[in-house]
Amino acid sequence: MHHLSSHFFKFNLIWLCALLSFSLQAATPLPAPPEVAATGYLLVDFHSGKVLAEKGAGNRLEPASLTKIMTAYTVFRELKQGNINLEESVLISEKAWRTPGSRMFIEVGKKIKVIDLIKGMIIQSGNDACVALAEHIAGSEGTFAELMNSHARRLGMSDTHFTNSTGLPDDDHYTTPADIAKVAAATIGEFPEYYPWYSDKSYVFNGIEQHNRNKLLWRDESVDGMKTGHTEAAGYCLVASAQRESMRLISVVMGTKSEASRAQSSQSLLNYGFRFYETHQLYSAGEVLNRARIWKGEREKLPLGLTEDLNITIPRHQYQNLDARMEIEPRIMAPVKQGEVLGHVSVTLNGESITEASLVALKSIANGNIWQQVKDSALLWLE
C-alpha cells in the first residue's frame, strides 16, 4: 500500500510541477523586440502579415540595391506572362556595360542569356545586369522603371518610387521598410520556382566568381534569401527571409553602419520572432466552414468559406486561448453568386480581436422552381 501511494504521490507531484511550469510559461509577458541600430526596420510574418517589430517602417529611405528585389520581381512577371524566356539572349548595350557600382562584368556587344543576367543581378548584385534586362524588356531603363512603379502601386507600396533598376542614388528614388517587405513577400509567394536563386552563395560568370553579400546564408541555415544594399547615403541594408518549420519571417533593416551591423541586426530580429511567436493556419481557402440555409433556391444549403487562407501569428503557448466565431446573414435569399459576402469570421485571443475575414459563398445558387419558391415562402411566413 505504501509503495503504491508513494508512486501516486510522485505522479501527482510531477503533474503539478508540469502544470505550474506551463502556467508560468503561458503567463510570461512578451519581451520587447531587440534594439536595432538602424534608420528603419521591420519584422513581419510572411503568412499572416503580422508585424512583430518595427521602427520607422513607414519612413521614406534610400533603398540602394534593395531596389533589385523589385527589378527581379518585374523580370519574373515578364517571364510568367511569356514576354521573355530564360534561354533567350540579350544584347549588351554600352550603357549597361558602363553602369557604375557592383557588376557581373558583362561586355558590350556580347549576347548573354536572360537566366545568366538574372543570377548576376540577384547573386552578384550586378548593376550592369539590371540595366541590360531593363533595356531588353522595356526598351529603356526609364520605361522599365515605370513598369516597376506600376507593380509597386498594385502591391500597395504607396510610399515607393523608382527611377532606375539598380538603386543608384537619385532624389526621386525611395521606398520604406514596410513597402520593400511587400515586394519581398510577393516574390516568395508568387515565384517559388525562382526564389531559390536568392539562397545561392556564389556565381561564376566570365571566369569571375563572386559571393553573395548576404552573410546570413552562411550563419543561419534557416535563412534562404534575400538581398543586401549599400550606398554612402543609404548605409548598409539587408532584407532577409528565413523559415523554421512552417513559420516564415521577413526582416528589413535599412541604414546600419556596417556589413556586420546589418547582419547582426537582421539575425537578432529573426531570432526574436521565431523564439517568441508562432504562426497557425486556422482555415484554408475554399474550405467549407458552414452550410447555411438558403431560401427559394435550387438547393437548400449554401457552402460558405474564405477566399484566402486565414493565418494568424500569436505569442507562443497561447493557441489554447484562441476563439473563432462566425456570424452569418440571418436570411439568405436566392439567387446568390459565388464570392458574394454573406458573413464573417472573427478571431479573438484572450478576448481581444486579432483578425477578421469575410465569409463568402463558395458556389452560385440560382432561383429554385415555382414549387420550391412557394414552399419556402410559406415556411418563411410561418417563422
Q: How distant, in Å, are the alpha carbons of 73, 78, 118, 377 from that of 127?
A: 15, 19, 11, 69
> Among residues 156, 2, 127, 144, which one has the least CA distance to residue 75?
144
Tell me how far apart the alpha carbons of residues 72 and 74 are, in angstroms, rounded to a whole number: 5
Length of the chain as a residue count: 383
Per-residue H/E/C for the chain: CHHHHHHHHHHHHHHHHHHHHHHHHHHCCCCCCCCCCCCEEEEEECCCCCEEEEECCCCCECCHHHHHHHHHHHHHHHHHCCCCCCCCEEECCHHHHHCCCCCCCCCCCCEEEHHHHHHHHHCCCCHHHHHHHHHHHHCCHHHHHHHHHHHHHHCCCCCCECCCCCCCCCCCCEECHHHHHHHHHHHHHHCCCCHHHHHCCEEEECCEEEECCCCHHHHCCCEEEEEEEEECCCEEEEEEEEEECCEEEEEEEEEECCHHHHHHHHHHHHHHHHHHEEEEEEECCCCCCEEEEEECECCCEEEEECCCCEEEEEECCCHHHEEEEEEECCCEECCECCCCEEEEEEEEECCEEEEEEEEEECCCECECCHHHHHHHHHHHHHC
Which of the residues are catalytic?
A: 65, 68, 125
- According to DSSP, the β-strands at 332-333 and 290-295 are parallel
Cis check for the bond before 335: say yes or no (omega within 30 of 0): yes
Cis check for the bond before 226: say yes or no (omega within 30 of 0): yes
8 Å CB contact between 53 and 269: yes
